[in-house]
């Protein structure tokens, strides 16, 4: 078979185009992979956060007994656990926080500037400081009697409110604020016949109600902080 100059030129041109395509693909593929890897890393990057023990915004007898460590520290620890489980932030272990506070001889409540200093020392992006503004038990009673037969009821309600501020360590500015309120209640009723009472409901357990209210407030706060994370640069 005789190959004409034109056929030879066509074959060479096709081979050159195929070789060019392979080279371009070889060059573009690593760049594409690198770009996707960078995008994935940016999407999965988490802000590093440290949670300070909360302050007391109100006082009552329930504060000192809650979770065996007091309401402020107890709720702070519970929030840390839930934030870790949520996975939105990388949360610094509180042992590192306690060590940093001890080194600087810091105790009690902190302002934004002091919190930012502690945050820088721990290498975090933000510090969460907060106040427990409500940690209450309220009781309401009602009832009446007729011809020696009476009835009564009592409602017990627990309310827990947490207010927090997210402080940026780089600027010391307040990046965001959030409030969460948890409530739990229980009602009991009893019937009295000529002074002899019969309780038809379960007895009130104030600790249980407070724990339920705390769980609701903390869960709500975790959700709000997850939403806040999307706005942080």
pLDDT digits (tens, 9 = 90+) for 168-209: 999 899 999 999 999 999 986 555 454 454 454 444 488 889
Taking alpha carbons only, the member of 62, 50, 25 closest to residue 167 is: 50
End-to-end CA separation in angstroms for the chain: 70
What pLDDT sits at residue 22? 44
90 pLDDT more than 80: yes
Measured between alpha carbons, how far is 18 from 13 in angstroms, rounded to an integer? 9
Confidence of residue 32 (pLDDT cuts 50, 70, 90): low
Q: What is the mean pLDDT of residues 126-137?
A: 91
- The better pLDDT of the pair 29, 227 is held by 227
Please report which helix (H) or strand (E) contains residue 20, including its range: helix 5-44
For residue 93, the number of C-alpha atoms closer than 13 Å in the C-beta half-sphere is 3
231 pLDDT more than 70: yes
Spell out the domain ranges in the chain.
Answer: 46-143+151-229
pLDDT in tens, 38-54: 444 444 578 999 999 88
Structure tokens belonging to residue 182: 């948890």
Write out 132-151 in H/E/C secondary structure. EEEEEEEEEEEEEEECCEEE
What pLDDT sits at residue 12? 47
What pLDDT sits at residue 43? 43
| 46-143+151-229 fold | Rossmann fold (3.40.50)
Measured between alpha carbons, how far is 197 from 201 in angstroms, rounded to an integer? 12
What pLDDT sits at residue 129? 93
81 pLDDT more than 60: yes
Rounded mean pLDDT of the chain?
75
Q: What is the mean pLDDT of residues 108-132?
A: 89
106 pLDDT more than 80: no
Measured between alpha carbons, how far is 23 from 89 in angstroms, rounded to an integer? 42
What pLDDT sits at residue 29? 53
- The better pLDDT of the pair 128, 200 is held by 128
What pLDDT sits at residue 47? 92
210 pLDDT more than 70: yes
Confidence of residue 28 (pLDDT cuts 50, 70, 90): very low
């Amino acid at each position: 078979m005789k190959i004409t100059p034109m056929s030879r030129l066509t074959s060479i041109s096709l081979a050159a185009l195929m070789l060019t395509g392979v080279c371009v693909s070889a060059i573009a593929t690593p760049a594409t992979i690198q770009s996707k890897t960078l995008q994935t890393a940016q999407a999965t990057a988490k802000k590093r956060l440290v949670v300070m023990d909360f302050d007391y915004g109100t006082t009552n007898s329930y504060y000192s007994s809650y979770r065996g460590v007091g309401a402020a520290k107890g709720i702070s620890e519970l929030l840390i656990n839930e934030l870790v489980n949520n996975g939105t932030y990388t949360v610094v272990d509180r042992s590192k926080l306690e060590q940093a506070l001890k080194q600087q001889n810091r105790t009690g409540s902190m302002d934004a500037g002091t919190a930012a200093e502690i945050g820088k020392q721990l290498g975090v992006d933000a510090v969460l400081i907060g106040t427990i503004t409500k940690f209450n038990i309220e009781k309401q009673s009602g009832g009446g009697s007729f011809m020696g037969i009476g009835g009564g009821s009592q409602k017990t309600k627990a309310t827990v409110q947490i207010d927090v501020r997210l402080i940026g360590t780089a600027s010391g500015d307040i990046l965001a604020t959030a409030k969460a309120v948890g409530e739990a209640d229980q009602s009991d009723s009893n019937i009295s016949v000529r002074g002899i009472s019969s309780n038809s409901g379960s007895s009130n357990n104030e600790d249980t109600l407070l724990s339920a209210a705390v769980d609701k407030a903390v869960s709500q706060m975790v959700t709000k902080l997850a939403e806040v994370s999307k706005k942080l640069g």
